[in-house]
Amino acid sequence: MIRFENVTKRYDDGTTAVDNLSFEVAEGELVTLVGPSGCGKTTTMKMVNRLIEPTGGRIYVDGDDISATNPVELRRRIGYVIQQVGLFPHKTVLENTATVPHLLGVKRSIARARAAELLELVGLDPTVHGARYPEQLSGGQRQRVGVARALAADPPVLLMDEPFGAVDPVVRERLQNEFLALQKSVRKTVLFVTHDIEEAVRLGDRIAVYGQGTIEQFDAPAAVLGAPATPYVADFVGADRGLKRLSVTPIEPGDLEQPPVVHLDDPLPATLPGWAVVLDREENLHGWISAEHAALAKGTVREHARRMEAWLPVGASLKQAFATMLQHDAGWIAVIDEDSAGRFLGVLTPARLHEALRRSTAADARDIPRDEVELETVSGR
């Protein structure tokens, strides 16, 4: 969808902002450009909508050389979200959102209906917020309006320049979650500029780590964290890159242990090896029961099963698993298959979590599937 071919941007004072850059962004892919201030990542993004013109090389969007496209028309086909949002203060939220469709000649009633749909999509009730002005919104709400406005003309490409950098950490995490959910439904081709490696890792399908005007590594987040291509990348992602990798390593069925299992209508077992997971007739997760509770009670499992608080769906990140263990002071978490109404798959223990992380790192380093990695030792086993 987006292709850079030997693109260079050199200013009159001799400064080279981008040097012979070549890379591709696939359709529907979210690529994060990450690096320190002044490394060329924002220049790279602004060359896509011709806010900055390259000195050399070619940039293609959907196969078209953008140098042959009218820049105004090009920008109307590319969504653009910036940190300061840039909403028109004299226009309502609904009018702001409908700006680009109006410019494209879309009938007013249709443009406003589309704007209302998008406000709902980003979590803003158009009947509540549509008639308000930007100054009446919080920073996070204004950012949502900015995203809705960028999507209003249904552009194939979305450019985002540190869009969540001006809000507090709690709101920023919420916006990131909402944007990831939104991206799953709309599947735009996105270039996302950030200086925060954790944000880059969390959002990107792939990450471009910038040095000075060049890309030092262009790879999946797990690969950047697990196998930095250069000492510069290793230093940039930080000595705690193993912890960061938790957020991009999913729980897989092979990571799980199979504990004792009982069913709701079973009589209470006479003995249990510590505890057991409680399932219903369809093998869906219901709860758990301890050996102590079973030994002191009579009746069926249903009467004495305890609610399961510590659980996650398969595919959730190891970071979510670790956080859930800490939140519930749990020595393990249950893992289910949400696609089958909660079918129980197994449990993840701290030892298995550590093993999954090591296996994932080794798999990337050796370029083999994770389930083919054999570990010689596992800490805590």
Q: CA neighbours within 13 Å on the CB side: how many for 129? A: 25
CA–CA dist 34, 27 (Å, integer): 20
Largest CA distance in the chain: 85
CA–CA dist 26, 47 (Å, integer): 18
Domain boundaries along the sequence of the chain = 2-248, 253-355
**Given pLDDT bands bounded at 50, 70 and 90, which one contains residue 51?**
very high
Task: Tell me the pairing of strands 2-10 and 56-61.
Answer: antiparallel
**Given pLDDT bands bounded at 50, 70 and 90, which one contains residue 338?**
confident
Mean pLDDT, to the nearest integer, of 247-274?
A: 88
- Indicate if 253-355 has the same CATH topology as 2-248: no
Task: Kindly provide the residue ranges of all beta strands, DSSP E only, lying in 64-164, ordered along the sequence.
Answer: 64-65, 78-82, 157-161
Mean pLDDT, to the nearest integer, of 274-297?
A: 86
Q: With a cut of 60, say whether residue 351 has pLDDT above it.
A: yes
- Give the Cα-Cα-Cα angle 207, 11, 219 (nearest 5 degrees): 10
Neighbours of 52 (CB within 10 A): 17
The per-residue pLDDT for 381 is 43
Instruction: Name the more confident of 57 and 147.
Output: 57
Would you state the CATH architecture of domain 2-248? Answer: 3-Layer(aba) Sandwich (3.40)
Task: Kindly provide the residue ranges of all beta strands, DSSP E only, lying in 62-131, ordered along the sequence.
Answer: 64-65, 78-82
Interhelix angle 318-327/350-366, rounded to 10 degrees, is 170
CA–CA dist 328, 249 (Å, integer): 21
- The three-state secondary structure class of 57 is strand
The DSSP code sequence of 297-354 is --SBHHHH-EE--SEEETT-BHHHHHHHHHHTT-S-EEEEEGGGTSEEEEEE-HHHHH
The DSSP code sequence of 162-216 is STTTTS-HHHHHHHHHHHHHHHHHH--EEEEEES-HHHHHHH-SEEEEESSSSEE
Which class would CATH give 253-355? alpha beta
Checking phi first, is residue 155 left (phi over 0); if not, alpha (psi -120 to 50) or beta? beta
**Bridge partners (DSSP) listed for residue 161:** 82, 193
pLDDT in tens, 302-318: 888 889 899 999 999 99
Is the pTM here over 0.85, yes or no?
A: no
Closest CA to 243 of 282, 202, 184: 202
Strand order in the sheet with 16-25: 16-25, 2-10, 56-61, 64-65
The per-residue pLDDT for 85 is 67
pLDDT in tens, 191-250: 999 998 989 998 999 999 999 999 999 999 988 988 889 999 999 998 788 888 888 889
Cβ–Cβ < 8 Å for 168, 199? no
> Mean pLDDT over all residues of the chain?
89
CA–CA dist 246, 322 (Å, integer): 9
Neighbours of 140 (CB within 10 A): 18
pLDDT in tens, 93-120: 999 999 888 888 889 889 899 899 889 8
To the nearest whole percent, how much of the chain has pLDDT over 90?
A: 50
The per-residue pLDDT for 377 is 58
Q: With a cut of 50, say whether residue 146 has pLDDT above it.
A: yes
pLDDT in tens, 31-47: 999 999 899 999 999 99
